[in-house]
Amino acid sequence: MLGIARIPPLLLAYVSYAMVAAWFCWPVAADPTHLALGHPGNDVGNHVWGYAWVAASLLAGELPTHTALLSWPAGGSLWFIDLFDVVLTLPVNVLWGPVAAYNAANLFNFWFAGVGAERLGRRVSGSAPGGWLAGLCFMATPQLLGQAYNGISETLAVGWLPFALAALVDVLEGPTVKRGAVAGALQAVATLFNWYYGLFAGIFGIILAVRAWSDARSGNGPTLRTFVAPVATAAGVFLAIAAPPFSLFAASMSADDALVTRDPDFVWKTLILHNMTDLMALLHPGRFYSPDLKLVFGEDLIVVVYVGYALLIPAAIGAWTARVRGPGRVWLSAAAVFALFALGPFLYFRGDYVQAVGGWVPLPFLALFKWFPMFSRISHAYRFVVGLSLALSVLAALSVRGVRHRGGDVAFYVGIVAALRLFETTCASSAVFPLVTTVVSPPAVLAQLEGGAVLDLPVGVPILARSRFLIDQLAHRQPVPFGLNEPTPKVLFYNRYTQYLLELERSQVTLLGERRPLLDLELGRASLVDMGMRWIVVHKADYPASQLPKVLRFLDLTATVTHDGDGLRIYRLDSAVASVLPAAEN
């Protein structure tokens, strides 16, 4: 015990966060180069693919803004959404591969969420135990575990947000040019790691700036004139760092060959029909999902917005303790703003939109969506729960100061709250724990595919589950017609051969018909070969048992079988195959 007492408290805090982060990520410890954190039916494959693609581009001295590996035959413009985590873990990627880098980024981001919130909580509360509690509460946000389950790795990069806010608090309480430069740089970094969190930092900044303006007007803070140079410096540094990458990102989204777009009409439909935030889900413990994406859409994604009473109660204590001439009011205001934004454009409660006066009850998010371009690109309002959780974590830090002022046992209080927070998040929230993993180990035979594009069948697997085809691409490294989370590629509709494969896949008829447009099929097959398609990989387990034989029969007649095993049947498309002609039926 004497040895522990000599360890600096900040180091102890960082070690404790590392232990919690390792606990969260423990399911991949058995094989971190082949087990990726997250459900195999979600975005894991897409993100692991992105880690491989970006790393390969950077090591080749290229900007990762366009790829020919997706959306064959043309490829397309793409900004990988987790690009800066790939940069951060590039040494891991080089040494142990993209799966290890993806896992390392998740581990680091869980840990760094605690480190960042500790810095902010300690800065606001002036209490080391309060800072530690803020870090623990924030890194244990149920939504972070939910997003790890979903495989949406960029949303775990939350640690930069509280660091940026701590720097902003420094500027507002003691404005200097140096502090302004640091605040601008950290704001830019938070933005680059996740565009949402850059927006969140801006919203927090407005709320804190209003408080600083009020203090200046009342004579309780620095005068407004002293902020001019620091704020101008912060803005200049922010733009210098964030503007070039953002311009590349915007160009990739607006390009004619963009693989990912944010059309406002699509975003709007997604926002109100798929990504709703149920007010009940914010407060309902246990496995309560609303909307239940598995039930409604057959998806394995989960929407986790539960806040947790182990955070709400100490946050309420902190808000009450610091309500008079303290920071409690401003952080309570921030929590209220983010809670309101998290609910989205209309009030949704118990699985349905609340109606009044002949329509859905509108919320402030709706006006911002209509009036501000940044909000019109937001398809996941529930991610504002991150800002809500951060504000509540700061209030929890302030509660420690109140306990100390009343002569309470700070260590006991902090320990109990931390234990309850971890228990509630892992055992009593809507987050899945322990986290599941995705096996990233493509069959070795796929590495033998070369010389042309690969079509994976069936096409009709759920769009997110199709990401495992990109896992297979890590082995064969050939172009595929699929993009990222898109419907059926148009090129498959425009070719008669692939169109017929789609018809076979979607038809309820179990036998291959005797009458087929043989000439059209041969011309379509020849066209595919001329365009550069070389391989068709049938994932047999993904077909209904009654549908698989007719697909295999057709492919047996029109392509050359090169492998049948590992759950796969692989065909090669050759320059000429006479078997599509009637004589081949004999």
3-state secondary structure 309-351: HHHHHHHHHHHHHCCCCCCHHHHHHHHHHHHHHHCCCECEECC
354 is a domain residue:
yes
Give the CA radius of gyration of the chain: 27
**CB 153, CB 85: distance < 8 Å:** yes
Domains: count for the chain: 2
Instruction: Work out whether the CA dihedral 242, 245, 251, 257 comes out positive or negative.
Output: negative
Residue 210's alpha-carbon distances to 135, 203, 232, 250, in angstroms, are: 25, 11, 17, 30
| 277, 358 contact by CB (below 8 A) | no
The per-type count for the chain, helices as H runs and strands as E runs, is 25, 12
d(CA 236, CA 250): 20
Same domain, 405 and 478: no
Q: Which of 399, 427, 455 corresponds to the end of one domain? A: 427
Distance (Å, rounded) from C-alpha 554 to C-alpha 498?
11
On whether both 515 and 570 belong to a single domain, the answer is yes
- Residues 459 and 408 occupy one common structural domain: no
Residue 261's CB is within 10 A of a number of other CB atoms, namely 12
Q: 581 and 503, same structural domain?
A: yes
Q: How many Cβ atoms from other residues are within 10 Å of residue 414's Cβ?
A: 22
How far is residue 120's CA from residue 168's CA, in Å, rounded to a whole number?
A: 10
**Domain identity same for 422 and 448:** no
d(CA 413, CA 358): 49
Per-residue pLDDT tens, the chain, 586 aa: give them: 445 556 688 999 999 999 999 999 999 999 999 999 999 999 999 999 999 999 999 999 999 999 999 999 999 999 999 999 999 999 999 999 999 999 999 999 999 999 999 999 999 999 999 999 999 999 999 999 999 999 999 999 999 999 999 999 999 999 999 999 999 999 999 999 999 999 999 999 999 999 889 888 888 888 889 999 999 999 999 999 999 999 999 999 999 999 988 778 888 999 999 999 999 999 999 989 888 888 888 889 999 999 999 999 999 999 988 775 568 889 999 999 999 999 999 999 999 999 988 899 999 999 998 888 778 888 999 999 999 999 999 999 999 988 988 888 999 999 999 999 999 999 999 999 999 999 999 999 999 999 999 999 999 888 888 899 999 999 999 999 998 877 888 899 999 999 999 988 887 766 555 566 778 888 999 999 999 999 999 999 998 888 899 999 999 999 999 999 989 999 999 986 544 444 444 3
Nearest-angstrom CA–CA distance, 205 and 168: 7
Q: Which residues of 460-472 are buried (b: 16+ CB within 10 A; e: fewer)?
A: ebebbbbbbbbbb
- Both 350 and 272 in one domain: the answer is yes
Assign residue 219 a region: left if phi > 0, alpha if psi is -120 to 50, beta otherwise? left
Buried b (16+ CB within 10 A) or exposed e, 305-323: bbbbbbbbebbbbbbebbe
Domain span at residue 561 reads 444-585
Asked if the structure places residue 36 within a domain, the reply is yes
Q: Are residues 387 and 476 in the same domain?
A: no
Do 490 and 342 lie in one domain? The reply is no
Residue 521 lies in a domain: yes
Domain end marker among 380, 397, 427: 427
Residue 231, in any domain of the structure: no
Statement to judge: residues 475 and 422 lie in one domain: no
Give me the amino acid identity at 331.
W
Please report the sign of the dihedral spanned by the C-alpha atoms of residue 159, residue 163, residue 169, residue 171: negative
Going by the DSSP 8-state scheme, the letter that residue 435 receives in this structure is: P
Number of other residues whose CB lies within 10 A of the CB of residue 386: 24
What residues contact residue 234 under an 8 Å CB cut-off, 6+ apart?
171, 180, 181, 183, 184, 187
Which of the listed residues 427, 462, 491 is the one where a domain comes to its end? 427
Please enumerate in sequence order all residues whose Cβ is within 8 A of that of 78, keeping only pairs 6 or more positions apart, or say none: 64, 65, 66, 67, 70, 252, 258, 259, 260, 484
> pTM, whole model, 2 decimals?
0.94
Shared domain check, 453 and 422: no
Residue 171 lies in a domain: no
